[in-house]
Amino acid sequence: MDRNPQKSFQDMILALHDFWSAHGCLILQPYDMRMGAGTFHTATTLRALGPEPWNAAFVQPCRRPTDGRYGENPNRLQHYYQYQVILKPSPPDIQDLYLESLRVIGIDPLKHDIRFVEDDWESPTLGAWGLGWEVWCDGMEVTQFTYFQQMGGFDCKPVAGELTYGLERLAMYIQGVDNVYDLDFNGQGVSYGDVFLENEKQMSKWNFEVAETDALFDLFNKAEAECKNALAHNVPIAAYEQAVEASHIFNLLQARGVISVQERASYMGRVRDLARGSCEAHMEKEAPVWAEKYPEWSK
Amino acid sequence: MSDFLLELRSEEIPARMQAGARGELEKLFRREMDAAGVECGEITVWSTPRRLALIARGLPEVTKAVSEELKGPPVGAPDQALEGFCRKAGVEKGDLETRDVKGRATYFAVKNIPGRATKDLLAEAIPAIIRDFSWPKSMRWGAASISTESLRWVRPLSGIVALLGDDVVECEVHGVTSGSVTLGHRFHHSGDITIGNADDYAMKLRAGHVIVDHEERQDLIRSGAAKVASEAGLTLIEDEGLVIENAGLTEWPVPLLGRFEEDFLEVPPETIQLTARVNQKYFVCEDAQGELANAFICTANIEAEDGGARVVDGNRKVLAARLSDARFFWDVDRKKTLAEHAKGLERITFHEKLGTVADKVDRVAKLADWLVFDAKAPNGDHNLARQAAKLSKADLVTEMVGEFPELQGLMGGYYAKAESLPAEVAAAIRDHYKPVGANDEVPTAPTTVAVSLADKLDNLLSFFKIDILPTGSKDPFALRRAALGYLRLVQANDLRLSLDEVAHAWASKPMPNLAEKLADFLLDRLAVQLRDEGVRHDYVQASRSWQGRPDQRIDRVEGRARALAAFLGTEDGANLLAGYKRAANILKKEDWHGAEGEIARTGEEDPLALVDDPDMKAVIDAKMNERHARELSYTPEPAEKALMDALATSEPAAAQAIEAEDFSGAMAALASLRAPIDRFFDEVTVNADEENKRAHRLELLAAFRAAVHKVADFSRIEG
């Protein structure tokens, strides 16, 4: 069956998979944890460290509890998809590859105005920053394009290029739809709303009104303790998962509105310590192997 | 002579960095040429999002030969020293010359550096320019970035074109090799463009859909935007910042006009304009009535096949989503009254040592109330001022100001109007941050003046109280701006505020030290402000004291300094100052303090101010009697008598004028002393042989000096 990325949300994703697979990327599956952005996937964070080449593409569901609108806002969701591409080291033709991927899903740059507008990226939680752009298509931001400079407080050597496509936005644009729930999911009439509207309603209610806050505080503390336990046993990937967990629980607590302004900084600091500690431990564990394999590399 | 072209091509350079980058490129190029002794003629620098270009006209083919001499050790110095010198200078021992230096034979190394081919020089200069280039933020990229020593650039550097005349200047920087090949527009041109020389560069790029001259792109955007606006029967609202930014985002700019739904015009026009400008970089237009129109102008980077219909439609949707947000904020915010919003201020820290914003608002309300109550800001209404102050910061917790902090004040004004608060209150909320910039309008509505003054005074007093003052370039709480705002409010409204009383009202108790700190700070700002208007700094210094303390009324210092400047600009003033300096010098030389001087040794205190003190009065009376006794002991010369008579009229006149704060009058009174003091110095010998004459004349000069000091402290005047 022919793919029709201009009429079908799932075909658009498959077209991107085909494209990046053809350009040497591993096509990974989503990380099986709740996270705020594709950047949290270990295929991005942990793989951005160290000298080994790494090219991967994957869809990552993202959870932003505070963005929930009970299914009533045409473009805000508490759960949505990002398409992540990570290319390490960043290839010289990365911009051309990216533009080619847009053509594949039906955006012709002679009909649509594509622009690279300065937008630097920083995640204090991950001790990470990079320079790049938000890519505009007729004035709409469709992709975040970043050259990672630091991750977990370490210089990225070499630098990875990260592309993050906002899939729903892009699909709305390509399909000419003004409401996310009207997106055609499969090109055969099943809408995004058919799949997700009820989830958005229920999850918005749970995020904002229902979630038991004592249990959430408890989960946060447990994730923090477990992260430290994992670090003590030198399993940094497991530790990192707990940092991701703590980060999401923190976002839920925020949505429940039970963290005061003063406490907020302290919670963020705790998540940051977990995430950076995990990255550091990962670095410590892998550095000897990397240094042996890549003599020109050093921590 | 040849022309040189350098193009540094990269991935998209942030628009805001391009002007600085052009300056940096020219500066570094000149540095390299200066170091090699090459005189540069005309240099042109251009930028687009994807390239920086420099053209230097008329470079020589060969640099000038230079002869360099290095002085070495004297003949007979130890061999070690001599060898060291040769090593350093890079010459053989046998090539040294011997010369006489102050009678001593000394070795010299003479190096003749022959001229070099400019091409070779440029081949070294280009890598140096790239390595030393300073960007506000730079990055590493690609395989080479496995080492942190790899090249840094604003975004990946992808190509170098370097041509001297028709020849490539060959060089290599971290794997990027120079050549004559560049790329055209990202979408309108495929394949390489080979540049022949500096002359065909711009032309060939234009054929490749790139306008390399940023000023030309700016002109195109400026005129193109105005044109599409007028074709739609509208007038473009000019925005030079947007012109430059859009020129920095495009290589082939095409302004396109689109429309948004008219319904959106129900939200305040400022929010529409801001959303369009900040988030989307669009221009907006107004209609024939001067009202914001439902139109936007975006600047595309392509000449779209369909004339831009799709581009416009896409941009319209994005803007519509943004405006929906703005309308949502507008609707949500109005569901609560400002008073309800203001409760949220209790959760916002103003400063860790100064409590919450709600605390600050209480202080501002109290002070605004006092300013009106005591008619310091006349004609204000007590209740209105307090109400406006209480609500002045409420919009900080609204959704709209959360999204667009620039709209603080303005939105509060709209919301106040929407809930039908008195017009004076709405205006005071809207304008109480004013004046912000040097050209910003200064409020004159009484309620607004009270709130605005109170807000600024509270900032100054609060931070001064916890010893936070601006240092050097650091002024995180914008206290200098608050001070300037205070000055301009006082000036525009002709206010006579005493800072003693202000500080007292603010703290509910006398705060003389805090008031003096505030006065000092404001007077410094006043001096800066007046200096920009041509009133010298020392005139402000000479006017700073009032009855022995830093003057607590800034308006009075200003009035005095201005009158002083006007007076000293006249011939009378200049001559009187000369006479004053002469008198002061004589008195200093003779160590003569005079009757007043013994009391007023510092020159700061005004002896008359101390007359209330019974002890002092006795001393002054005694001195006065002594002076009178001297006056009578001989017949004064005519010039001496004339000065005495002039002083007898001028001094009380000046004192009276000062008391009435009529500073021009006081200066005029001083002016009448000018002729007598000139004549006195011409005709009278101060250091007469007779002691009684000498004493009397010195005393007369002291009295003259004292009279002048009553008007201003002339000892502070320089030159």
The full DSSP string for A102-154 is HHHTT--TTTS-EEEEE--EEEGGGTEEEEEEEEEETTEEEEEEEEEEEETTE
Query: From chain A, which residues contact B within 8 Å (Cβ)?
Result: 51, 74-75, 89-92, 95, 99, 109-118, 120, 130-133, 137-140, 147, 149, 155-159, 161, 173, 178, 260-261, 294, 296-297
Please tell me which of the candidates B15, B158, B302 has its beta carbon nearest to residue A92.
Answer: B158
Contact at CB, B304 and A155, closer than 8 angstroms: no
**How far A139 CA lies from chain B's nearest CA (Å)?**
5
CA distances from A32 to A220, A272, B85 (A): 18, 21, 72
What pLDDT sits at residue B629? 55
Contact at CB, A116 and B49, closer than 8 angstroms: yes
CA distances from A160 to A95, B127, B147 (A): 13, 25, 13
DSSP string, B326-393: HHHHHHHHTTS-HHHHHHGGGGSEEETTTEEHHHHHHHHHHHHHHHHHTTSSTT--HHHHHHHHHHTT
Contact at CB, A149 and B315, closer than 8 angstroms: no
What pLDDT sits at residue B628? 59
Contact at CB, B145 and A115, closer than 8 angstroms: no
Interface size, chain A vs chain B, as Cβ–Cβ contacts under 8 Å? 121
Q: Is the pLDDT of residue A181 over 60?
A: yes
The pTM is what?
0.78
**How far B30 CA lies from chain A's nearest CA (Å)?**
29
User: Contact at 8 Å (CB) between A35 and A63?
Assistant: yes
Nearest-Cα residue of chain A relative to residue B149: A157
State the first-to-last Cα distance of chain A, in angstroms, to the nearest integer.
Answer: 49
Please tell me which of the candidates B145, B315, B319 has its beta carbon nearest to residue A158.
Answer: B145
A174-196 average pLDDT score: 95
Instruction: Tell me the chain B residues in contact with residue A155 when contact means C-beta distances shorter than 8 Å.
Output: 148
What pLDDT sits at residue A65? 95
Q: How confident is the model at residue A91 (pLDDT cuts 50, 70, 90)?
A: very high
What whole-number distance in Å separates Cα of residue B128 and Cα of residue B641?
Answer: 79
Contact at CB, A261 and B347, closer than 8 angstroms: yes
Nearest-Cα residue of chain B relative to residue A100: B187
Please tell me which of the candidates A113, A158, A261 has its beta carbon nearest to residue B143.
Answer: A158
What pLDDT sits at residue B605? 39
What whole-number distance in Å separates Cα of residue B131 and Cα of residue B26?
Answer: 14
**How far A226 CA lies from chain B's nearest CA (Å)?**
33
Strand partners, B248: none
Instruction: Tell me the chain B residues in contact with residue A95 when contact means C-beta distances shorter than 8 Å.
Output: 11
Please tell me which of the candidates A51, A159, A260 has its beta carbon nearest to residue B141.
Answer: A159
What pLDDT sits at residue B89? 82
Site from B10, B11, B188, B350 to mutate, A interface, most A CB atoms within 10 angstroms:
B11
A105-129 average pLDDT score: 92
Contact at CB, B16 and A118, closer than 8 angstroms: yes
**How far A229 CA lies from chain B's nearest CA (Å)?**
32
What pLDDT sits at residue A1? 59
Contact at CB, A147 and B137, closer than 8 angstroms: no
List, for residues A11-38, the tens digit of each pLDDT value.
999 999 999 999 999 999 999 999 999 9
β-strand pairing of A121-123 with A79-88: unpaired
What pLDDT sits at residue B610? 46
Residues in Cβ contact with B26 at an 8 Å cutoff, skipping those fewer than 6 apart: B43, B45, B54
List, for residues A134-179, the tens digit of each pLDDT value.
999 999 999 999 999 999 889 999 999 999 999 999 999 999 998 9
Quick one: tokens of B280?
């989307």
Please tell me which of the candidates A130, A133, A161 has its beta carbon nearest to residue B12.
Answer: A133
Instruction: Tell me the chain A residues in contact with residue B306 when contact means C-beta distances shorter than 8 Å.
Output: 111
What pLDDT sits at residue B377? 60
Please tell me which of the candidates A95, A139, A155 has its beta carbon nearest to residue B148.
Answer: A155
Instruction: Tell me the chain B residues in contact with residue A130 when contact means C-beta distances shorter than 8 Å.
Output: 139
**Across chain A, how many H-helices and E-strands are there?**
7, 9
Contact at CB, B314 and A139, closer than 8 angstroms: yes
Instruction: Tell me the chain B residues in contact with residue A137 when contact means C-beta distances shorter than 8 Å.
Output: 314
Instruction: Tell me the chain B residues in contact with residue A159 when contact means C-beta distances shorter than 8 Å.
Output: 139-142, 145
Which of B260, B254, B259 is CA-nearest to residue B307? B254
DSSP string, B271-324: HHHHIIIIIH--EEEE-TTSPEEEEEEEEESS--TTTTHHHHHHHHHHHHHHHH
Reduced to 3 states (helix: H, G, I; strand: E, B; else coil), residue A58 is strand
β-strand pairing of B43-48 with A161-166: unpaired
What whole-number distance in Å separates Cα of residue B386 and Cα of residue A132?
Answer: 49
Which of A79, A89, A106, A88 is CA-nearest to residue A16? A106
Instruction: Tell me the chain B residues in contact with residue A261 when contact means C-beta distances shorter than 8 Å.
Output: 347-349
Instruction: Tell me the chain A residues in contact with residue B322 when contact means C-beta distances shorter than 8 Å.
Output: none
Instruction: Tell me the chain B residues in contact with residue A161 when contact means C-beta distances shorter than 8 Å.
Output: 141
Q: Which residues of chain B have pLDDT under 70?
A: 373-379, 594-632
What whole-number distance in Å separates Cα of residue B411 and Cα of residue B394?
Answer: 10
